[in-house]
Amino acid sequence: MKLSIIIPVKFEKRIQRTPKRLFSCLKSLNPQYQDEKDYEVIVSDLGSEKEFLEEIRNIKVYDNCYLTENKGNRYWNRSKALNNGIKVAKGEFIGATDLDMIFAPNFIKTVKKRMKSKVLLQCHCKFLLQDFGEVITPEMIPKFEKAYALAQDYSAGGFQCAERNWFLEHPYDEDFKVWGGEDTLARDIMVEEGFTIDWIDNETSMYHLKHTHYLDVISEDERKFRGKNESLWMTKLWLYKVNKQRGFKVVKY
C-alpha cells in the first residue's frame, strides 16, 4: 500500500457539523472518482457523541475506506485522532487532512506522483465563501472555482503528506488541544530535519466547505487554548532547536 489518507473526526451537536459532510469528503476520495488504486482512507473517530456513532459506523462507502474508533475526553485532540489513524495505516506515506475538504478528481494521482522521501506535500485550501450545504456531489465542484478564497502559506493543516515512518518516530504532539498548532510544529520540525515543502495546488485542488466558526460554539475555557497553542508551538520548536544543537535526539517535544 502506497498511501493512507487519515481523516480525524469528532461529531458533537454543538459544533453543527454532521456525518453528511464526512460522506461528501469520502465520496470525493472514492477510487472511481479519483481513477486511482493502491491507497486507503481511514476515518479516525475520537469520542463522537453516541447518536452520531451508528451513522459513521456505516462509513464503508467503498472497499478501501475504514473506520477506527477511540474514546475521547472533553477537549478535542486532533493530534491524538491522527496518531490513532497512523498506527493502523498500511501506507508507506501518510496524508493527514480534515472532513471539511472536498478533493479534485486528480488529487490522489497528483499526491502519488509527487510524494518522495524527505518531502512534505502540502496544499493550499480553497475556502468556499458560499454555503453549498453538506451534501456535495462531484458535479458541483466546477461551481467551487468561482466561490473561494485561497489560504495563506502559514495554513499548514489542510493537507500534509510525508513518509509514515517519520510520523511514527515523530507523532503529532498531543499537548495541543481544541484547535491549531500541531500541524505547524510538525511542518517546522520537518524543515529543521531537511525536508523540502512541495505545494501541490499548482496541479490539483481541495476545497474547504463553509461552516460555523468553532469559536462561536465552544466554551470559554476551550477558547483559551487558541492562545496557549500558539505559545506552545513556539516553545516546543525552540526546545527542539536547542536539543538539536546539543546533539540530543528527542521524539516527544
CATH number at residue 94: 3.90.550.10
The predicted model scores a pTM of 0.89
Is position 250 within any domain? no
Is position 175 within any domain? yes
Is position 109 within any domain? yes
User: CB neighbours (10 Å) of residue 32?
Assistant: 10
Q: What's the structural domain count of the chain?
A: 1
Q: What confidence score (pLDDT) does residue 118 get?
A: 97
Is position 86 within any domain? yes
Q: What confidence score (pLDDT) does residue 225 get?
A: 67
Is position 253 within any domain? no
For residues 219 and 20, is the Cβ–Cβ distance under 8 A?
Answer: no
Is position 222 within any domain? yes
State the Cα–Cα distance between residues 208 and 201, nearest whole angstrom. Answer: 14
State the Cα–Cα distance between residues 239 and 229, nearest whole angstrom. Answer: 15
92: exposed, middle or buried (Cβ count in 10 Å: 0-12, 13-18, 19+): middle
Going by C-alpha positions, the residue among 203, 197, 29, 205 that lies closest to residue 121 is 197
State which residues of the chain have pLDDT below 70.
Answer: 60-61, 152-157, 212-219, 221-223, 225-227, 242, 245-253
Q: What confidence score (pLDDT) does residue 253 get?
A: 40
All 3 cell numbers of residue 162? 510525508
Q: What confidence score (pLDDT) does residue 48 get?
A: 93
Is position 186 within any domain? yes
Is position 251 within any domain? no
Q: What confidence score (pLDDT) does residue 211 get?
A: 76
The parent domain of residue 154 ranges over 3-245
Q: What confidence score (pLDDT) does residue 179 get?
A: 75
